[in-house]
Amino acid sequence: MSLLTMKSSLFFALILTATTASAVDFKTQIAPIFRNKCYACHSVTKKVKGKLALDDDKLPEQIGAGKNIIPGQGAKSTMYVNCTLPNDDADVMPPEGKNKLTDAELATFKAWIDEGASLTGGGAAPAPAPAAMPAAAGGVMKWTNTEGKTIEAEFMGLQGDGVLLKIPSTGVTHILPLSKLSAESQAQAKAATK
Ligand code: HEC
């Protein structure tokens, strides 16, 4: 893949992330984890260890580049990473791995950060995968990537292992590797080529 192609597909992946509602809802899915597993030591209503309060109104202080929660980068966010450490690691949270997050909670936590760590958004169900549509010549179709984000774009053809998609609002065509699309969207691209 050329560097230019790589750049545009990266850009495109960002668009896919930025334009869709997040699927993890802070209030119903993340706040309860903090309440049950962290508040004992990180809440203004109880104790504030490590100068870290995870109350809803204190959380914005933790979110941002270089902070404990880096929107879009779960795997690089200290808050998440510390929760995944082995029980004997000095930095594991909760300490000594007591009342540790379950695998499901960790996955939800990471997904929430990956989706932008929104305190207000979310709650929207992931967009249903579009059914494979016949080639509506020049028509705008829904495309879903492997992470379940959906955008609307015009199918412009296949190029090697990439699919050319034009964003109606900008008129710019992007190349997205087919492998980054859901199985349904890959099928849709192949069907549209015929
Ligand atoms: C039993 C008490 C306790 C619980 C429960 C606990 N923590 Fe902590 N946490 C601490 C202490 C004490 C520190 C300070 C450690 C230090 O500075 O060496 C700390 C520090 C941290 C830090 C580093 C803060 C910074 O900016 O330096 C993070 C991040 C963190 N905790 C996240 C969490 C999360 C997320 C949870 C819930 C899943 C949690 N903690 C649960 C006691 C706790």
Question: What's the CA-to-centroid distance between 50 and ligand 1, angstroms?
Answer: 6
Determine contact, residues 149/16, Cβ cutoff 8 Å.
Answer: yes
- Ligand 1 centroid vs 52 CA: distance in angstroms? 7
Q: List pLDDT tens digits, range 146-167.
A: 888 888 888 888 877 888 888 8
Where does the pLDDT of residue 20 fall: very low under 50, low under 70, confident under 90, or very high at 90 and above? very low
Pocket test for ligand 1, best of 30, 42, 59, 87 (most atoms within 8 A of CB): 42
Cis geometry, peptide bond prior to residue 126 (ω within 30 degrees of 0): no
pLDDT-derived band at 88 (thresholds 50, 70, 90) equals very high
Is the CB of 110 inside a 6 Å radius of any atom of ligand 1?
Answer: no
Compute φ and ψ for 73, nearest 5 degrees: -135, 65
Considering only CA atoms, which residue is closest to atom 17 of ligand 1? Answer: 50
Closest to 55 measured CA to CA, from 71, 41, 39: 39
Structure tokens that stand for 100 in this block: 């540790």
For the cut 50, the answer to whether the pLDDT of residue 22 exceeds it is: no
